[in-house]
Chain A
Amino acid sequence: MAYSIVVLVKQVPDLNAVRVDKASGKPLLGDQLVLGAADAIAVEAALQLKEAHGGEVTVVSAGPPSVKDALQRALAMGADRALLAPIDQANALDTLALSRVLAGVLSGLTFDILITGQNSDDYESGQVPAQVAELLGLPQVSWVTKLVAVDGGLAIERDTEDGKQQVIAATPVVIMAADGLNEPRYPSLKGIMAAKKKPLETVEVAAVSATTDITWSDPAAPQKPPAGIIVQDKPAAEAVAELVAWLRTKNLA
């Protein structure tokens, strides 16, 4: 069967470009904004299902106009269309308020599978997919490392503390894509050119209101733990003897 698939993505700062200011302890974000790493895996998963079974892939994101770049990236990978829910700053909203915005957009779409990344690269809370699933009344399957379409739904493997849990999920369902599910493709030049002609619409969102009773401080570096012992410029036998003595005083060896 052909699938109608929606992928939720978030534009995030490039984690490799983030520095912490030594004086203030505040993070300095680079100018580079990218499609989240787990979100690229989610897009790839949707494209693979579409390529195997037919269907359509729609990518959805909420944020300022710059988010169009992340959506273009997904279109260049092969998604068919993109929807942008305009809000000022995704990270200025608490996750439940953001989830309500996204659920509002998604409730106007018909889909079989909603795929998201397990976590965003910046705030890393992994809360939005579960909250969107709850608000839409859909089941969620998280930490997905294998996703195969079968009769009656999707055969899934999840990475859990106890090993790989295998489940069969009926559609519609929310899938949270984890690292290891696939290796996201790079957009081809042809894909990048084609993406420019694909529909990227801005949708109307209902008035955004923050959830009451939650605020948070600006991120800052934690108090530094006391510096450890560093052994340098000593022969291996001597350095190792010091390490072994240290391990024994700590009852670690």
Chain B
Amino acid sequence: MSNGILIIAESHEGALRPASLELVTAGLAAKAAVGGSLTALLPGSNVAGPATELAGLGVDTVKVAEDPKLSAFTTDAWAAAVEAAVKALDPRVVIFAGTTSGRDLAPRLAARFGAPSAANVIAIGGSSDTIVATRPVLGGRVQTDVSLGGSLAFLSAGPGAFEKAVSTGVTAPVEALAVDLSGVSERVRVTGLAAADSGGSSSLASAEVVVAGGRGLKEPANFALVEELAGKLGGAVAASRAVVDAGWRSHHEQIGQTGKTVSPKLYIAVGISGAVQHNVGMQGSEAIVAINRDPDAPIFKIASFGIVGDLFEIVPELNRQLS
């Protein structure tokens, strides 16, 4: 009889990933619907620090799977660790973070166990018999509710879909989970990690404020306005696909379907019309400010605060008033 929730947390350089904090909230939502206890697995190497942090976020138990082969992510080693945890704990549902590795592992493990799965889910409900996971499709304009029966299911959380969990003041027990990775061959060998270019994907993904510029800026030099605003708010600079395609900005700053997905506390869209391919990458932001001259621009439909007007008047004025 399988029961409970297993979430697969991730850390990097001694700290939990922001996506792991969102994952805990997804796990708590699943626990409320499905019942049982919430166990967090933290695979890695030398992860005692993040394990302690994880134990304070509202989970019932933390299991740590330590192995040198888990220090850098490879699908083979991580999948073997999660497989061992699933066999040991027999959970009703396994939830992965909304990360590149989570998106790799959830379907792979589902195929390994012959179990149903759903990717990029933004809400979890239902019951122990039938878990219901909501996910966006067709560029995020519509959603589907996936019903997952049986005794085991795999989900990955949508980036930014769940609030980041905060410390509860209660510390869950941290236990080691033995995993034998001796049989994992190095078919894919990690040889390095190049930090993204200045202000790259990592800082964009974790930034609390993102200021994004689009074609309304008219020419690359005018991105200085966006950069100044980002500087005043301590935020990161991002760009729409149109200006990346035009060569104004580098691809690592691109927001949207073929770029990054961000969910900061504040997202400011400057001169971005808000095509669906853009909006899918930022509509999870807590507050969205839009500045655009076209009152019919789709960005105003999702904006929490919009100013219809000339960005070349408004943004310099905003920079002044924020000084």
Contact = CB atoms under 8 A, between A and B. Distances in A.
Secondary structure of the A side of the interface?
A: mixed
A79 to B, nearest CB: 22
B295 A232 contact: yes
Contact of B75 (A140, A160, A213): A140
B214 interface: no
A179 interface: yes
B104 A130 contact: yes
A130 B79 CA distance: 11
B173 interface: no
Contacts of B257: 15, 121
B306 A164 contact: no
B116 A96 contact: yes
Contacts of B192: 165-166
Interface in A144-179: 157-170, 173, 179
Contacts of A130: 75, 104-105, 107-108, 111
A32 B108 CA distance: 32
Interface in B185-216: 187-196, 200-202, 205, 209
Contact of A127 (B107, B189, B195, B205): B107
Interface stretch (B1-9, B21-29, B60-68, B144-152): B144-152
Contacts of A180: 251, 258
Nearest to A99: B111
B17 interface: yes
A94 interface: yes
A131 B111 contact: yes
Interface stretch (A80-88, A198-206, A234-242): A234-242
A94 to B, nearest CB: 7
A215 B148 CA distance: 7
A109 interface: no
Interface residues of B, number: 88
B295 A25 contact: no
Contact of B276 (A15, A140, A218, A239): A15
B31 to A, nearest CB: 20
A161 B190 contact: no
A173 B188 contact: yes
A204 B180 CA distance: 40
A64 interface: no
Contacts of B252: 159
B103 interface: yes
A65 interface: no
B106 to A, nearest CB: 7
A229 B209 CA distance: 19
A164 B259 contact: no
Contacts of A143: 100
Contacts of A133: 108
Interface in B91-135: 99-101, 103-108, 110-112, 114-120, 135
A229 B306 contact: yes
B305 A161 contact: no
A193 interface: no
A213 B149 contact: yes
A192 interface: no
Given A161-B202, A162-B12, A240-B314, A216 B147 contact: yes
B86 to A, nearest CB: 14
B104 A253 contact: no
B87 interface: no
A134 B110 CA distance: 9
Nearest to A125: B119
A29 to B, nearest CB: 8
Nearest to A174: B75
Interface in A186-200: none
A91 to B, nearest CB: 9
Contact of A236 (B117, B187, B305, B314): B314
A156 to B, nearest CB: 8
Contact of A219 (B138, B196, B276): B138
Nearest to A217: B145
A234 B105 CA distance: 51
Contacts of A236: 309-310, 313-314, 317
A233 B295 CA distance: 10
A139 interface: yes
Contacts of A135: 111
Interface of A: 13, 15, 18, 20, 25-27, 37-38, 94-96, 99, 121-128, 130-131, 133-135, 139-143, 157-170, 173, 179-180, 211-222, 225, 228-234, 236-237, 239-241, 243-244, 246-247, 250, 252-253
9 contacts: A121-B139, A124-B119, A124-B120, A160-B193, A163-B196, A165-B73, A167-B191, A219-B144, A221-B142
Query: Nearest 3 A-B pairs (CB), nearest first?
Result: A213-B150, A127-B107, A214-B116
Given A165-B193, A169-B189, A243-B318, 10 more contacts: A15-B277, A20-B142, A124-B136, A161-B99, A220-B143, A221-B141, A230-B308, A231-B308, A243-B305, A252-B266
